[in-house]
Amino acid sequence: MTTKRPERIAECVPEDWGDGWDHVHISISIENQEMADIRLTHFLKAPVKHREVFCSPLIGPISLGKYLDTGLIKGVNVGGEMAPIKDVRPIKYEWVKNLYLEAKERNIEFYFHQSGSMFLKDGKNIGKWNLKEQIKCAEEVQQELERLYGAITVKK
């Protein structure tokens, strides 16, 4: 389940929920730093056993370091926005790379799942309108990040 309203989790779970059920993963969607700071504060207090963060659509740089340092977040997923070029908000390679590094430095899973319609890398838009092409582009970028930074040291 993914939500943009983590402040409601505690009031919406069953009576026998406790701190969560083993087979249930809950994630939140955040698009920029302002929403990260608001939603993650609530999300980390919620009764959730397995937490993931979806930075999707990522429309601005985000730093998740202090939230990832809690050890409560098990995965970071990133994606761009899919919209006509006149309406789409860009996602930048540097934002993806920084989130990748923050996750990997803490030994947290990272997945870049969709580049979006406007993915800016080296000053060029390499995003695509077609979803299959966005997924392919994201996979290539993730492989590049793993080649370049795969041997980073995990923070203690």
List the pLDDT tens digit at each of the 156 positions of the chain: 888 999 999 999 999 999 899 999 999 999 999 999 999 999 999 999 999 999 999 999 999 999 999 999 999 999 999 988 889 999 999 999 999 999 999 999 999 999 999 999 999 999 888 999 999 999 999 999 999 998 666 665
Tens digit of pLDDT for each residue in 29-69?
999 999 999 999 999 999 999 999 999 999 999 999 999 99
Record the pTM: 0.92
Q: Which residues pair with 73 in a beta bridge?
A: 51
DSSP characters over the chain: -EES-GGGHHHHS-TT-TT--TT-EEEEEE-SHHHHHHHHHHHHHS--SEEEEEETT--S----HHHHTTS-EEEEEEE---S-TTTPPPEEHHHHHHHHHHHHHTT-EEEEEE--S-EEETTEE---SSHHHHHHHHHHHHHHHHHHHTTPPPP-
Q: Which structure tokens are listed for 14?
A: 């069953």
Q: Are strands 119-121 and 124-125 parallel, antiparallel or unpaired?
A: antiparallel
The CA–CA distances, whole Å, from 114 to 80, 123, 144 equal 6, 19, 15
Q: Which structure tokens are listed for 119?
A: 């993915």
Domain ranges of the chain: 2-6+22-149
CA distance linking residue 16 with residue 132, whole number of Å: 41
Task: Residue 54: count other Cβ atoms within 10 Å of its Cβ.
Answer: 21
Burial class (CB in 10 A: 0-12, 13-18, 19+), 104: buried
